[in-house]
Amino acid sequence: MAAQNPPRRPTIDDVAAESGVSRGTVSRAINGGKWVSPEAQRAVDAAIKKTGYRPNVLARGLKMRRSGSVAFLLSEPVQRLFTDPNFATLMSETSDQLAAQDTSMVILLAATDQERDRTLDFISTGQIDGVILVSWHGDSSMLKRIQRAGIPAIFCGVPGPSHRDLSYVACDEYDGGLQMTEYLRGRGHRSIALITGPDDAYGSQRREAAFVDAMGSDYDPSLRRGGDWSRRSGTVAMNSLLDEAGTIDAVFAANDLMAAGAIEAIRSRGLSVPGDIAVGGFDDSEAAVQSTPELTTMHQPFAQIAQEMVRLLLARIDGGPSVQMTLRTTLVVRDSA
């Protein structure tokens, strides 16, 4: 009589299939249940009992150890790292803050669906302890997927309405827009044009809302143009305003790069800044001091943003609560307005 093969030992994949949750969720449920919903924990416990799965105690002990790494996840096209100084500043400041806590930073790019799938697979393996997600789009599809996977995360900026329970650190975009508009009006300007960022960018939406409110009856929708945060889009928008709009005595651009582009367009027409048209920006990035003339702008405290994101994420990894933090922006007056 031929010898029978021993029955196959149940695996963690069997538990995942039986419970209907991901392999990563099963692993976290087995290793203490942190970042696992009660429903998922019950499903995993029931699947373990049904399949007869027995965790490897030695492997479990190893997995309980921290990796000592945090992912800096940029959910934007890679060229933004080289064209938008805000991303580079945030990345540098975050790396410094993590290093001070003996934690390494892993840079991940996830602009396309393929990159998002690959990134989620990586962060679900336990090779990183948490995620700092940076995107100018509050409803980034990565948010939902990271939350579903139960991975500790913090968002830079304000996430979309369906993710407001996620930890985040943001600046008060509305107050910043209000301050800049009131400053321009305080200088006697009434015919003020607006160059916005992308329509789906929360920061741009809030800055525009503040501008409209502060302008009151002086608001003229024909003086609004949209940009995409790039310097070139600021130039294109400003040229459109100069060609098609009436009298303009000031411009509020929703970021410094677009403001610098607007200045290029104004000066190319033989007009002066701020003599003929004043220009205000937002961010206080490198672009603000590299512009000629230097930009009057709203300062976003990127060093403080990075410090708070790291502090709150590490606390979240340790089991702390979800925290939403909003920081103030401050007006920086230079030569453009």
- As beta bridge partners, residue 250 has 192, 278
Same domain for 122 and 54: no
| Residue 5, domain member (yes or no) | no
Same domain for 150 and 253: no
Which of 252, 319, 315, 313 has its CA nearest to residue 283? 252
Same domain for 326 and 292: no
Say if residue 106 is exposed, middle or buried (CB neighbours under 10 Å; 0-12, 13-18, 19+): middle
Query: What is the full per-residue pLDDT of the chain (337 aa) written as tens digits?
Result: 444 555 677 888 888 898 888 776 777 777 665 567 788 888 888 988 888 887 654 444 444 456 788 999 988 767 777 777 888 888 889 999 998 888 899 998 887 778 888 888 888 777 889 999 988 766 567 777 787 778 899 998 877 666 667 889 999 999 999 999 999 999 999 999 999 999 888 899 999 999 999 999 999 999 999 999 999 999 999 999 999 988 999 999 999 999 999 999 999 999 999 999 999 999 999 999 999 999 999 999 999 999 999 999 999 888 888 899 999 999 999 999 9
Domain count, the chain: 3
Domain assignment of residue 143, given as a range: 69-172+303-331
Same domain for 307 and 168: yes
Residue 220 DSSP label:
-
Same domain for 324 and 270: no
Distance of CA 126 to the CA centre of its chain: 22
Same domain for 145 and 100: yes
Same domain for 186 and 100: no
Alpha carbon distance 311, 317 (integer Å): 10
What is the torsion angle, in degrees rounded to the nearest 10, for the CA atoms of residue 215, residue 217, residue 218 and residue 220? Answer: 100
168: domain CATH number is: 3.40.50.2300
3-state DSSP call for residue 289? helix
Same domain for 168 and 103: yes
| Residue 293, domain member (yes or no) | yes
| Residue 224, domain member (yes or no) | yes
**Would you state the pLDDT for residue 321?**
86
Of 63, 80, 95, the one marking the end of a domain is: 63
Backbone angles phi and psi of 199, in degrees to 5:
-60, -25
Other C-beta atoms lying within 10 Å of the C-beta of residue 82: 9
Same domain for 307 and 167: yes
Q: Where are the beta strands (DSSP E) in 24-80?
A: 69-74
Helix axes of 302-317 and 85-100: crossing angle, nearest 10 degrees: 50
| Residue 245, domain member (yes or no) | yes
| Residue 336, domain member (yes or no) | no
Residues 6+ apart with CB under 8 A from 27: 12, 63, 126
Same domain for 183 and 284: yes
| Residue 193, domain member (yes or no) | yes
Same domain for 49 and 31: yes
26: domain CATH number is: 1.10.260.40
Does an H or E element contain 177, and which? helix 173-186
| Residue 189, domain member (yes or no) | yes
Q: Which two tokens stand for residue 312?
A: 């709150």
| Residue 4, domain member (yes or no) | no
**Would you state the pLDDT for residue 1?**
44
Same domain for 263 and 243: yes
